[in-house]
C-alpha cells in the first residue's frame, strides 16, 4: 500500500482495480449489504492492508464482542495481536455494555468501552483516542456497524451522528471512516437512502453466483467523491492465501 497525504492507495488486486488512484483520505465511506454479502471480508482485508504498512486502525466493535472480531480478522491468516503490541490496532468495545454486572476487558486490544445508547459520549471517546494516538492524516476508523445506532436513535438523529463523525474525524483530522450497514431490513435500506448524500462514498456488497465451488461476492461502487473509480459490479472471492481475487471485472 502506497500512502500520500491526501490519498490511501490500498494494495491487492481487487482494491487496485476498484480504486486505481486510491481513496481520498478524508472520506466517510459506507459499505452496505445484506448478511453474508462479503462486507466483513471486504472491510477486514482493508484493515489487513493498512496494518501491514504501519497505519493505525481503530475498530469500533458494535455488532460483536472483541474476541469475535479478532477471530474474524485471524481467519484471513493475519495475527492482529502483533499489531496490538506495536500500538497500531485498537478496539472500542461497544458490545460489552450489554453484559450485566462487572466483567473483565474482553481482549488485550480493547482501549475503551462505550455505550452506543450515549452517542455523544461515544463520539467524544473516539476523538480522544484518535488524538492521543496521533491519528492525524493517517489511519482508519472502522464502525461495525451503524445498525447498532439504528436500534436507539431515529434516522434524523443518526444522520446528525454521521455528519458529526465526518466533520470531526474525516475532515478535521484526515482519518478515513469505513462504516458497515446491514441492509436486511427495510429500516436499514431507508437509512442508507436517507444518509448517502451526507457521506463521501457508498459501496454495495452482494453474494455472487459466478463461482460454483467457492464462496464468491460482488461489489459495486455506487458513489465515491473526489477520485476515479470503477463502474459496474466486480465479482471476487477469497483465494487459497485468503486474499481477494477478481473473478470477473465489470458487469452491468
Q: Residue with C-alpha cell 435500506?
A: 189
Categorize the per-residue pLDDT at 241 as very low, low, confident or very high, splitting at 50, 70 and 90.
confident
228-237: pLDDT as tens digits: 999 999 999 9
State residue 212's pLDDT score: 61
Question: Range of 113's domain?
Answer: 26-205
What three-state secondary structure class fits 246?
A: strand
Residue 244 lies in a domain: no
Residue 33 lies in a domain: yes
171-187: pLDDT as tens digits: 999 999 999 999 999 99
State residue 131's pLDDT score: 97
Residue 247 lies in a domain: no
Task: Give yes or no for residue 240 having a pLDDT over 90.
Answer: no
What three-state secondary structure class fits 76?
A: coil
CATH number at residue 117: 3.40.50.300
The 3-state DSSP composition of the chain as helix, strand, coil percent (nearest 5) reads 35, 30, 40
Asked if 242 contacts 76 with a C-beta cutoff of 8 angstroms, the reply is: yes
Residue-by-residue DSSP string for 199-224: SSEEEEEEEE-S-SSS-EEEEEEEEE
Q: How many structural domains does the chain have?
A: 1
Task: Give yes or no for residue 1 having a pLDDT over 50.
Answer: no
Task: Give yes or no for residue 193 having a pLDDT over 70.
Answer: yes
Section 50-58 average pLDDT: 92
Categorize the per-residue pLDDT at 213 as very low, low, confident or very high, splitting at 50, 70 and 90.
low
Task: Give yes or no for residue 5 having a pLDDT over 80.
Answer: no
Lowest mean pLDDT among 43-47, 76-80, 142-146, 188-192: 76-80
Lowest mean pLDDT among 55-64, 69-78, 158-167: 69-78
Task: Give yes or no for residue 2 having a pLDDT over 60.
Answer: no
Asked if 196 contacts 188 with a C-beta cutoff of 8 angstroms, the reply is: no
Identify the CA nearest to 23 among candidates 2, 54, 53, 45.
2
Identify the CA nearest to 180 among candidates 88, 89, 10, 64.
64
Identify the CA nearest to 203 among candidates 8, 14, 29.
29
Residue 234 lies in a domain: no
Residue 56 lies in a domain: yes
The DSSP letter of residue 138 is S
Residue 19 lies in a domain: no
Q: Is the pTM of this model over 0.75?
A: yes
Which residues, in sequence order, are bridge partners of residue 201?
29, 224
Residue 231 lies in a domain: no
Task: Give yes or no for residue 206 having a pLDDT over 70.
Answer: yes
Task: Give yes or no for residue 89 having a pLDDT over 50.
Answer: yes
Residue 242 lies in a domain: no
Burial of 25 (0-12, 13-18, 19+ CB in 10 A): buried
Section 197-209 average pLDDT: 95
Amino acid at each position: 500500500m502506497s500512502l500520500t497525504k491526501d490519498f490511501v492507495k490500498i494494495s491487492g488486486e481487487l482494491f487496485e482495480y476498484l480504486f486505481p488512484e486510491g481513496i481520498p483520505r478524508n472520506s466517510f465511506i459506507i459499505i452496505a449489504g445484506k448478511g453474508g454479502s462479503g462486507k466483513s471480508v471486504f472491510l477486514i482485508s482493508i484493515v489487513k492492508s493498512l496494518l501491514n504498512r504501519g497505519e493505525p486502525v481503530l475498530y469500533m466493535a458494535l455488532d460483536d464482542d472483541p474476541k469475535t472480531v479478532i477471530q474474524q480478522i485471524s481467519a484471513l491468516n493475519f495475527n492482529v495481536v502483533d499489531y496490538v503490541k506495536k500500538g497500531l490496532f485498537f478496539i472500542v468495545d461497544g458490545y460489552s455494555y450489554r453484559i450485566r454486572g462487572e466483567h473483565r476487558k474482553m481482549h488485550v486490544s480493547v482501549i475503551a468501552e462505550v455505550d452506543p445508547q450515549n452517542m455523544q459520549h461515544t463520539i467524544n471517546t473516539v476523538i480522544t483516542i484518535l488524538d492521543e494516538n496521533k491519528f492525524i492524516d493517517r489511519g482508519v476508523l472502522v464502525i461495525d456497524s451503524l445498525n447498532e445506532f439504528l436500534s436507539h436513535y431515529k434516522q434524523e438523529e443518526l444522520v446528525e451522528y454521521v455528519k458529526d463523525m465526518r466533520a470531526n474525524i474525516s475532515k478535521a483530522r484526515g482519518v478515513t471512516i469505513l462504516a458497515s450497514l446491514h441492509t436486511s431490513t427495510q429500516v436499514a435500506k431507508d437509512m442508507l437512502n436517507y444518509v448517502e448524500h451526507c457521506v463521501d462514498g457508498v459501496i454495495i456488497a452482494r453474494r455472487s453466483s459466478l463461482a460454483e465451488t467457492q464462496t464468491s461476492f460482488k461489489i459495486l461502487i455506487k458513489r465515491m467523491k473526489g477520485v476515479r473509480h470503477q463502474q459496474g459490479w466486480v465479482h471476487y472471492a477469497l483465494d487459497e492465501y485468503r486474499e481477494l481475487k477478481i473473478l470477473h471485472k465489470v458487469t452491468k
